[in-house]
Amino acid sequence: MSDTIQPIRGMNDVLPEDSAAWQQLERVARETFAEYGYREVRLPLLERTELFKRSIGEFTDIVEKEMYTFEDRGGDSVTLRPEATASIVRACISNGLLHNQRQKVWCMGPMFRYERPQKGRYRQFHQIDVEALGYPGPDVDAEIILISSRIWRRLGLSGLQLNLNSLGTPESRRDYRARLVGYFQAHLAELDDDSRRRLDGNPLRILDSKNPAMAPVIAGAPLLTDHLDPESATHFAALRSHLDAAGIRYVLNPRLVRGLDYYSRTVFEWVTTDLGSQDAVCSGGRYDGLIAQLGGEPAPAIGWALGEERIVELMRLQKLAVADDRPEVYVVLAGAAAEALGLELAERLRDALPGLRVETNCGGGSFKSQLKRADRSGARYAVIVGENEAARRVAALKPLREEAGQREVALAAVGEELKQVLRPAAA
Binding site for ligand ATP (CB under 6 A): 83, 113, 115, 120-122, 125, 127, 259, 278, 280-283, 305, 307, 309-310
Residue 140: phi and psi, rounded to 5, are -70, -25
Spatial contact of 86 and 52, defined as CB atoms under 8 Å apart: yes
Closer Cβ to ligand ATP, 90 or 113, answer by number: 113
How many C-beta atoms surround the C-beta of residue 374 within 10 A? Answer: 23
Half-sphere exposure of 40 (CA within 13 A, CB side): 12
**Smallest distance from ligand ATP to CB 114, Å:** 9
Q: How far apart are CA 233 and CA 256, in angstroms?
A: 16
Choice between 62 and 383, CB closer to ligand ATP: 62
Task: Considering the complex, state which of residue 210 and residue 401 has its C-beta at the smaller distance from ligand ATP.
Answer: 210
CB 92, CB 103: distance < 8 Å: yes
Q: How far apart are CA 365 and CA 385, in angstroms?
A: 13
Rg, the chain, Cα only: 28
Question: In the complex with ligand ATP, which residue's Cβ is closer, 47 or 389?
Answer: 47
**C-alpha 54, offset from chain centre:** 25
Chain position whose Cβ is nearest to ligand ATP? 307
Residue-wise burial string across 191-226, b where 16 or more C-beta atoms lie within 10 A, e elsewhere: beeebeebbeebbbbbbbbeeeebeebbeebeebbe
**DSSP string covering 106-147:** EEEEEEE-----BTTB-SEEEEEEEEEES---SHHHHHHHHH
Min dist CB 119 to ligand ATP, Å, is: 10
The smaller minimum CB distance to ligand ATP, of residues 163 and 406, is found at: 163
Nearer to ligand ATP, 203 or 327 (CB): 203
| In the complex, minimum distance from the CB of residue 66 to ligand ATP, in angstroms, rounded to a whole number | 8
Q: Is-contact 129 218, C-beta < 8 A?
A: no
Closest distance of CB 271 from ligand ATP, Å = 9
**In 3D, which of 222, 224, 221 has the Cα closest to residue 169?**
224
User: How wide is the angle at C-alpha 54 spanned by C-alphas 121 and 142, nearest 5°?
Assistant: 65
Q: Which is nearer to ligand ATP, 117 or 386 (CB)?
A: 117
Q: Is the dihedral of CA 415, 421, 422, 427 positive or negative?
A: positive
Shortest distance, position 423 Cβ to ligand ATP, whole Å: 38
Question: Which CB, 306 or 334, lies closer to ligand ATP?
Answer: 306
- Give least dist CB 129 to ligand ATP, A: 8
Smallest separation (angstroms) from ligand ATP to the CB of 308: 8
Q: How far is the CB of 142 from ligand ATP (least distance, A)?
A: 19
Comparing CB distances to ligand ATP, the nearer of 141 and 309 is 309
Shortest reach from residue 123's CB to ligand ATP, in Å = 7
